Amino acid sequence: MQEALEIKYLENPLREYLICVSILLFGFLLKRLFANLISKQTFRIFKGIAKKQYYDQFLLLLRTPFEQLISLVILYAAFSRLNFPDAWHIDGIEKFGLRWVIEAIYEISLIAVVTKLVLKSTDYIAYVLTESDVEHLNLDLIRFLKELSKVVIIIFAFFVLLRLAFEVNIIALIASLGVGGLAIALAAQDTIANLFGSFIIYLDKPFKVGDQIEVSDVKGIVERVGFRSTRVRTFDRSLVYVPNKKMVDSTLNNISLSEELRVKFMLQLTYESKSVDILNIIDEIKNSIIQNEDTSDDFNVNFTEFDSSSLNILVIYFVKSNQYEKKIVVKQAINIQIMDIVERNHCKFAYPTQRLFLEKE
């Protein structure tokens, strides 16, 4: 039996093939068990910030990367026992060839899995902080720092990949990019300005996710603040991406921070309207605003001007809410009352008209 195990195939003893297969078989069968054990041990690192009820989320995020890492270790442990036959004339890893390609693929896979593991850990830390009951915790800032950390981790992993897998001199590479980096910075100055804009948004806090804002010609609810742009859902349900530079440079109205919303419009009546009727209309509009529970005591209803084709009454009042939906409901109720008031006082709404008088000779 011992002699049979020493029989060589492709210059590798049968014993080594059996060990290789055994490592693959038992390794992949017990991979989930190993991943769970490593996850439990790793979870102790996060005990300072995480509670036990967060372990399920930790397992959900990190078990797959751990399994992938274990798979790479199993493959390395199994196939490292076998050697290429000398008759194949395969060069070592110091020269470009099959062995070098296999080694590079393994190192790339290993760096990718470790990077994924670190990224998932970042997601978990952000999840714990988001779900925690700590007061005065800025959730938007947590999301921003999570995304920023991911970018830094990926850039760092890229340089590690160049150094370990391809043996690139990182210091020389960075030095050679001096002039090129300046050109890239000039070409990407808008992107850099938007990135700094995102920092200003998180530090100055002019708004947060969920706020109703108005900036330039965009009005809607903030859904997400990214590195380059802020995502705003308008009231017609379209999605608008506003560059962060524009968000910090333009005049921004945070409607959610206001306690009341203003309603302002011009009520236009025909020139046939009598002054007595106009005064009655003004008084009745004031009463309708006063009697509405959702309007404040600050309002203004006055006959303001003689227009080219109408007599204009300026109406201004405030709705005691910062919700757009509430504003349009109150506005509709008062508009209906105004229509009844105008009709009851024997007046008519004006619209742009012209009268032509012909003089008879």
Token pair of 141 as six digits:
């800032």
Confidence of residue 21 (pLDDT cuts 50, 70, 90): confident
Residue 212 in contact with residue 255, Cβ under 8 Å?
A: yes
- Segment 242-250 mean pLDDT: 88
More confident residue, 52 or 275: 275
Q: What phi and psi, each to the nearest 5 degrees, are found at residue 266? A: -110, 120
User: 61-72, pLDDT tens digit by residue?
Assistant: 888 888 889 998
pTM: 0.58
Residue 131 in contact with residue 54, Cβ under 8 Å?
A: yes
User: 184-230, pLDDT tens digit by residue?
Assistant: 555 556 777 777 888 888 778 888 888 889 998 898 999 988 878 89
* Angular region, 354: left φ>0, alpha ψ -120 to 50, beta rest: beta
164 - beta bridge partners?
A: none
Q: Is the pLDDT of residue 45 over 90?
A: no
User: What is the C-alpha separation between 327 and 336, in angstroms, rounded?
Assistant: 14
Confidence of residue 339 (pLDDT cuts 50, 70, 90): very high
User: 170-179, pLDDT tens digit by residue?
Assistant: 676 666 655 5
Confidence of residue 301 (pLDDT cuts 50, 70, 90): very high
What domains lie within the chain, and their CATH numbers?
Answer: 2-170 (no CATH), 193-257 (2.30.30.60), 261-344 (3.30.70.100)
Task: Report the number of secondary-structure helices (H) and strands (E) in the chain.
Answer: 11, 10
